[in-house]
Chain A
Amino acid sequence: MGNDIVDQIRVAMIDCQTDQVLELVPKAIDKGIVASEIVNRGLTAGIRVLGDRFEKGEAFLPELAVAAETMKQALDFLEPHLAKSVDEEALGTIVIGTVQGDIHDIGKSIVATMLTVAGFTVHDLGVEVTPAQFIAKTKAVNADIIAMSALLTTTMDRMQETIDLLKSEKLDTRVKIMVGGAPVSQQFADSIGADAYGVDFNQAVKIAKRLTGHSND
């Protein structure tokens, strides 16, 4: 029975049935299913299917936006049930944000959500994050990775400034940099000295695991 309801959650995530997911999650808790199983085999498994479909061009931003919103709401409800296990299992700590001058939020937020469900402790600084803010937060939480997003050709150069500041603070050997966003490319990432570039959230999760030594690939 318990497995059935977790599978129903997974299917409802894939079908973008937000109301159904938010109805089923409390029911699953009532039935005594542990929160991490609901997250892993229900919510995350569903969103992963959408992620794979997105990579293949079979799902699109509307589905991902609905799924990310649903995931956030479900995690808000599940948080008290999850609190204990998260710290023990955390794969690493990531500071994420959209660079200064740029207020594009959606892609960065989806990446942040997916990094969280993958098991990272994620500090989302939001949009218009200055190099100084990235570095201050990185020091404060002892982050392993800084993840930066830029959606404009006028703002992508800001990534370089954060990397320069990281170097001048002598943190660049310990802290890895990953970058993404529509105008960003592998070549651009290389040219500014970033450690990795990800084209979408599936890749972002893979890269973050690789940079923290958790990759099986």
Chain B
Amino acid sequence: MTILSPYQRVMTLLQGKMPDRVPVIPQVTYTTAQLTGVGLVEALHSPEKTAEALLTGQRELGYDAIYVGWESSFNLLAEAMGCTMRFPEDSVPQVAEHVIKSPDDVDKLELPDPHSSGRLPIHMDMVNIVKDAVEGEIPLFAYTPGPFTLAGQLAGVNSLMVATIRNPQFINNLIAVAYKASKRYALANIQAGVDVVVTADPTASGSLISPKTFETYAAPHQQALVDAITQAGAIASLHICGKTTSMLELMAGTGTSILELDHLVKLTEATTRVGNDVILMGNLNPTELLLTGTPEAVEAAARECIEAVGQDGQYILSSGCEVPPLAPLANIRAMVTAAKKYGQYA
């Protein structure tokens, strides 16, 4: 079989057909700063520098898609909606003060405009630069926050958790606004040429909340986002970190095309339970393997994943979660090597 371009490879898979080999898409963003020497923090304010790092990463390491992101989408949106941010000298920004201090504050929230609010325009510019450089050659993945997670950024995770028990009405009101913000941001990314929108909902992890809380507060809004993304002509992916084994059917039930799984979920179990409904993506351990492991260990673990669930298509080799900034690039190369060595379909 002829060797496909990354775009052809991923799109063939998404159409339910067999590409030339297993696609490999590590969740790499600011790790690529190692290649261009740009400072992780320095790059935050420069769409040119982040775009250059992301493009260089794909070119040098050869994986099959670019995650157009530098810091988390939920922080960018939280900032654009009024949260005060803290900018550590050597780490990504974090929410310092939540905009929602009491249930009454929800009424004051304004929907952010991706083209003018906060630092969202920096993100949009970065997407445009990357798109112009690789359109039709490399697929682009971009995150939008799961409304449950964005609500946690706006009000504080502790308040969110307490309110799921003590003040459901408050949480429902807040999540409804968060959903609108996430949807608007997702659609702006699609308009800018993003191919796959990943709804990232780490606070809705099975490590933190019960399947019942997930079903009540997280899943319906994820499903609505998946619908909106699909209707806008893009592919939907769902990313939830941590232990999600108890929620596999609920996650697949959102209608997402791709389901990203963290290293705590067994791929073989996931493929048995929901493998007919979604394309599975994952799930190498980001810290124990990709940060502190050897290339040999990474290649062996990647091979195991491919042999376990990657024999019949329906699978993308990836990390379980975002790759740490200081992960050795040799470990990412080892993932790509494994996909080429052990993932051939032809």
Contacts and interface: CB of A to CB of B under 8 A. Distances in A.
B296 interface: no
B324 A154 contact: yes
Contact of A183 (B210, B243, B286): B286
B92 A105 contact: no
Given A153-B286, A188-B288, A188-B292, A61 B91 contact: no
Interface residues of B, number: 35
Interface string B107-125: 0000000000000000000
A128 B88 CA distance: 9
Interface residues on A, range: 20 to 34
Given A106-B158, A152-B91, A153-B324, A61 B209 contact: yes
A153 B325 contact: yes
A157 B210 CA distance: 31
B162 A188 contact: no
A16 B165 contact: yes
A188 B287 contact: yes
B228 interface: no
A44 B325 CA distance: 40
Contacts of A26: none
Given A152-B92, A153-B325, A183 B161 contact: no
Contacts of B91: 101-102, 152, 154-155
B213 interface: yes
A66 B166 contact: yes
Given A62-B164, A153-B325, A105 B158 contact: yes
A207 interface: no
Contact of B95 (A103, A153, A182): A103
Nearest to B92: A154
Nearest to B90: A101
Interface in A100-114: 100-103, 105-106, 109
Contact of A60 (B208, B291, B326): B208
B157 A106 contact: yes
Contacts of A16: 165-166
Nearest to B293: A187
A154 B291 CA distance: 11
A62 B287 contact: no
A203 interface: no
Contact of B209 (A60, A103, A128, A187): A60
Nearest to A192: B292
10 contacts: A16-B165, A61-B209, A66-B165, A69-B158, A101-B89, A102-B94, A153-B291, A154-B92, A182-B242, A185-B287
Given A103-B94, A187-B288, A191-B292, 20 more contacts: A16-B166, A60-B209, A61-B161, A62-B161, A62-B162, A69-B158, A101-B89, A101-B90, A102-B94, A103-B95, A106-B157, A106-B158, A128-B86, A128-B88, A152-B91, A154-B40, A154-B325, A184-B287, A185-B287, A188-B288
Interface of A: 16, 18, 57, 60-66, 69, 100-103, 105-106, 109, 128, 152-157, 182-185, 187-188, 191
